[in-house]
Amino acid sequence: MANTIWGYADCAIYTLNPAHHMTAEIARIGEPGPADGITGPWVLGLWTDYGDGIALQGSTAELQHFLRLVIEHVARETQREGLPDALNELARVRARREELLANNPSAEDLKTAAGYELAELDLLRWIAQATSELIDHQP
């Protein structure tokens, strides 16, 4: 039976420790470790802000491979859903910039508008990448 622990990504914590450090920490606090002991050279911890979570053990390559798969999955799945939001945000950023530049803008307005231009470029890059990946993954 699965045990789901809920938390928030914006306050989650991660740790990465060598196995010998975790073995000593488990012994120090008296927490039960894995039944067969820690066999991987590294332990990656993914924790909620309450300290609940999961400890994954493995080699550097195994942990990096796992994290790459997670990142790719999140990127692929959220791009499909995030594209309309990104397009709406692009329209908002452009409208804010146009408002600032409409009536004899001050130096501060010009500086703020430049920030909106950078935000627009970031959004356009994201939209282009998301669109490209969605097209590449069409059945």
Contact 100, 112 (CB under 8 A): yes
Instruction: Please state, in angstroms and as integers, the Cα–Cα distance from residue 77 to each residue in 15, 67, 95, following that order.
Output: 26, 15, 28
Are 119 and 78 a contacting pair, CB within 8 Å?
Answer: no
Q: Model's pTM, two decimal places?
A: 0.57
How far, rounded to the nearest angstrom, does the alpha carbon of residue 52 sit from its chain's CA centroid? 19
Q: State mean pLDDT over 108-116.
A: 92
Long-range CB pairs of 3-9 (<8 Å, 24+ gap) are: 5/48, 5/52, 5/53, 5/54, 6/48, 7/47, 7/48, 7/49, 7/50, 7/52, 7/53, 8/48, 8/49
pLDDT for the residue numbered 137? 65
The model's pLDDT over 48-89, given as tens digits with 9 standing for 90+, comes to 988 889 999 999 999 999 999 998 888 777 777 778 888 889
Confidence of residue 138 (pLDDT cuts 50, 70, 90): low
Q: Which residue has the higher pLDDT, 11 or 81?
A: 11
At 8, give phi and psi (nearest 5°).
-120, 135
In the chain, where the domains are located:
9-58, 77-136
